[in-house]
Structure 1
């Protein structure tokens, strides 16, 4: 790991673990922190040895959202616009990189921290984790977190969170689709690693193709989505890894992926 960097990275067996490293601030997303995370994700997007990314937070919580102290100290339109556009860049990048990104959530995930959870491809939470979009409580509606939230959960559930600003527990977060599952906190890291290892055993080419197609078709109507995904599957069938995987299945052996 890197010393006191804003984002720590540790790799093991095709899995990169990124840790937000602002524990005293509940890993609030300062401008520098978001830029550091963007830089790490850009590097990872070109790293063909990495198949899965895990994102977690240091200390007592996952992420408390934007750094309100920093924003209060820089009361200018330019700074606010830079902050929110950088946040949008970060969230988009998470879904653009070829590797699946898994949120490992403990403690709290609030405002832009909740947005981060909603944006990640998968999310697993400790059973005592809590989630909210509380901007309405301080006169600042969580408009950018709303973008990810409304794409992850039912509209009425999202609107309730946005309008009330109240915390929801991990069980309800599972029920509304914000996270995949909840486990006791002491089992969280092991469970996320287990899921990451299952995914990391797949073809990196196939993961890249599937993740990209997933987000593309989600923005299309049904007819367009079927047409697009038919083209994607045709191209995928012609890939070396698909041919290898099918042959391995038919001959009852383990596949040897080439990533192409």
Structure 2
């Protein structure tokens, strides 16, 4: 992944559900670690992801996040065996509520998240990609919302997917349930870049390092503002964004950034 030694590793044991590595360059790498189950989102896995996101949110050393899957799959979606083992309606309601909370946690995390997709991302796994701020796919990656093939429409993945791609493309994926290759996902707008498998990690880590080099205050402000304004009317969005930018202009980092640009020097961020 990188030749840089992590400054700190959380849950690094091989039998844990996720691994969290925070590097000296400000990049947190969150790895889904159920390769034998194609990183299916069991209840325990989702709880582990939420805990890791909370850890990242509270760690000022983590300024950008790479989300990846161990093994050949990124994430195959929900654990269907677990879902069928407890068919009670209340259990299913609790599962989907937890999944929705986890996905929303990614969107509201005050740090940018990049999905690194090397293999399949299906159903809730595709939802996971769509929930991230950016996504990079290897040419080997495949994407699908195939619930319709099982008699179970991908309704919760639809929420993230319909906000990441155009309506016609979202409906094509949801209604047909077919696997889309990486180039199709790029054309739909689900991923930002498609690269060779051997370049995947370097590409995502390079993007994450570049983002992590920016003012953490500015990143937090911008991410929050982006998702807030896309749900507003045009007039409300401009009014809201104008206030955000006015407030942003008063921060130390904005003053430092502008002065550094004018003085042709590198800025020194204070995060305030």
Q: TM-score, normalised by structure 1?
A: 0.99
Paired residue for 2:48? Answer: 36
Contact kept, 8 Å, 2:22 with 2:61, in 1: the verdict is: no
Output one character per residue of 1:137-179: Cα deviation in whole Å (capped at 9) or x when no partner.
0100000000000000010111011011000000010001000
Between the two proteins, the alignment pairs up a number of residues equal to 260
Query: Which residue number in structure 2 is paired with residue 78 of structure 1?
Result: 90
Secondary structure of 2:178 counterpart: coil
Partners of 1:95 and 1:168 lie apart in 2 by 24
Paired residue secondary structure (2:90): helix
d(CA) in 2 for partners of 1:29 and 1:165?
Answer: 19
Does residue 167 in structure 1 map to residue 196 in structure 2? no
Q: Give the C-alpha shift of residue 205 in structure 1.
A: 0.2
CA distance in 2, matches of 1:39, 1:178: 26
Q: Distance in 1 between matches of 2:177 and 2:61?
A: 41
Provide the rounded CA distance (Å) in 1 between the counterparts of 2:163 and 2:50.
21
CA distance in 2, matches of 1:72, 1:187: 38
SS in 2 for 1:125: strand
Moved over 2 A (4+): none
1:31-70 → structure 2 map (5 Å cutoff): 31-70=43-82
TM-score norm. by structure 2 comes to 0.95
CA contact (8 A) 2:50 2:105 kept: yes
Which of 94, 98, 104 is equivalent to 2:116?
Answer: 104
Query: Unaligned stretches of 5+ in structure 1?
Result: none
The CA distance in 1 between the partners of 2:59 and 2:206, in whole Å, is 21
**1:236 and 2:254 matched:** no
Shift of residue 104, structure 1, vs aligned partner: 0.2
State the partner residue of 1:186.
198
Q: CA RMSD in A?
A: 0.6
Write the mapping of 1:146-165 to structure 2, written as runs, cut at 5 A.
146-165=158-177
Please give the alpha-carbon distance, in whole angstroms, between the structure 1 residues aligned to 2:61 and 2:200: 25
**Are residues 1:11 and 2:52 paired?**
no
Structure 2: gaps (5+ residues)? 1-8
Alignment equivalent of 2:128, drawn from 107, 116, 124: 116
Partner of 2:6: none
Do structure 1's residue 94 and structure 2's residue 70 form an aligned pair? no
